[in-house]
Structure 1
Amino acid sequence: MKLSIERASLLKAVAQAQSVVERRNTIPILANVLIEASGAEATFRATDLDIEVVDKATAVVERAGSTTVSAVTLNEIVRKLPDGALVTLTEDSASGRLTIEAGRSNFSLATLPKEDFPVMASSDYATNFSCPAPVLRRLFDKSKFAISTEETRYYLNGVYMHVSESDGGKVLRCVATDGHRLARIDAALPEGADGMAGVIVPRKTVGELRKLLDDDEMMIAVSVSETKVRFATPDITLTSKVIDGTFPDYTRVIPQNNTRKMEVDAAEFARAVDRVATVSSERSRAVKLQLDEDRLILSVNAPDSGAAEEELSVAYGDERLEIGFNAKYLLEIASQVDRENAVFMFNSSGDPTLMREGNDTSAIYVVMPMRV
């Protein structure tokens, strides 16, 4: 195999591949990227047996062929080469090495047989549809902060993507929760997505998918089966197993009868929470909210380190309320607001609180209170 490729194209493909590779694994071939060259392109394939990413790049192929080489090492080499360099990759099957040349730089890396490289079994996808990148980006970006990291409740370690009923008809919905907070984000249902089975997209896959969604003009081809989900652009295909479990009935924890309404400038609120939480040394950082007519007092009282208080002007016309929250959860939810105002709906100091952006109900968040 021998091919020449621009550094920028090679770096983009190899960076995507190496991020999928598990640093610690007992199977050496899983640390490698499979490079296949034919026609006028090279493909770079990496897998950790749960996720597989395939990236295509235009190349000048002098001799078709394929080999596998350490993804992390190749990425480091290409990253350190000068911008605009033309990189030549040559595989010598006799010595079992891959030579990388760019200008005066020359590297030689050990390879492993391509026959040992595991290729993810293809799946029959029951549902296929296309979705604009900005729509998918919003669905996953606004929900992923609430993914649980608790391995025992593995079915919460991802984003639940499914079709649901809303006031305006059917929607494509993403939900994530860790039991303390919940995010539910809706988008218009793409054509062809109607019969989709609900799938839990794993946390790592959500992180890898984000790299495909930066181009606002891009359409993403989405394919879903009961065991796998695939996201594809013209150059990159990301295939992932889905979490084998049942996502809980999240609708039961979304409060329906919260009537006390507070409207506040989202950015100002987030900054104020961040400031008062500074004095607390505890990880949970409980922040108390005292609500009175058109006035909010945020306070933290940490006996070991000190106390803090800040007052904000808000729109609130209900009876007085005191309620406590984990500062980290409040900050994460407030940072999701794209509009100017965040609307909080309270019931009592012991009940879940609902938050949305203005009157928009396509993105709603629920956070559990704390005793303070």
Structure 2
Amino acid sequence: MTDLFAPYELKALTLKNRVVMPPMCQYAVEKQDGIPTDWHFVHYVSRAVGGTGFIIVEMSGVHPDGRITNQDTGIWDDAQIPAYKQLTSAVHAHGAKIAIQLGHAGRKAVDASPPVAPSAIPFGAGYAMPKALSREEIAELITAYREAARRAVEAGFDTVELHGAHGYLIHQFHSPLSNVRSDEYGQDPILFGEQVVEAVREVLPAEMPLIMRVSAKEYVEGGYDEGYALEFCRRYKEAGVDMFHVSSGGEGPIGSNGGPGAGPAYQVKLAEYIRSGLQVPVIAVGRLESYEEAQAVISEAKAELVAVGRGMLSDPYWVLHAAEALGGVDSAAVPKPYERGIWKLK
């Protein structure tokens, strides 16, 4: 039986276990330059020390105005590469693999003046009216995604994840709630995301897998359901996505806190639906901080990988503690200085 501590391979990406630290914004950039700081270094490297197999750095803007706030990380300039190199090297030294999530907040960029979007529709009360992107500006943003992916490879990341979920720019294009364009990007709302995938794929090594985070369902009137999500995921897979990180929500008031009645493992069925519908590997995410819940997702073959967000914010050593609790401690890379703290090694 496959468990949380079994290795996993996807193309050239080889992971020592099935546990993922998902991207979670830290809002900790100090000089508004997008460059990760000591906070980010400690934050991510401590999770590598704690046994995490795969770490995904928070959504990092492909454009300065693509960040949610000016305190977010970015990867729009070559001057940002050295700090990321330092981070990836340290994470690798502790046996983990690391990716970076590339994104653009679109109409949810609160510090952009003005924000941009597929159509001039604000996200909600308190958000600025966005500027509808021209075709030329869309082409420039597609190039920005490609260049950000190039920088990620140069910085030593093992792969990249495109953020196509939670109401950010790619999601805004394929959602009927935020895209009412009359041109080709409105007639084919999946086209923008598809072109981003193709552009990023151009600069990634052939054996480097491309991951995409998607919202498989919108919890608001007029939003799409998992059937439509399967359609756009099929297009993205054909364009070059190798694995989907399946979340939900984001357009409308419900975001990362989940939909009505959200509880432990509430999004796993959505991950299973995409996995079985496309025969594609998936990362399951959503209230999986329970060791037993996370283990069940893997042992019952519902997903290839499990992302633990809030659990890792609470406990940088979540994986070591899960191994201790579930009896997989021999499979976890316990740092020698910490062996005395793992009771099954005493």
Provide TM-score, normalisation by structure 1: 0.20
**Bigger helix share:** 2
Bigger CA radius of gyration: 1
Q: Relative contact order, CA 8 A, sep 6+: which one is greater?
A: 2
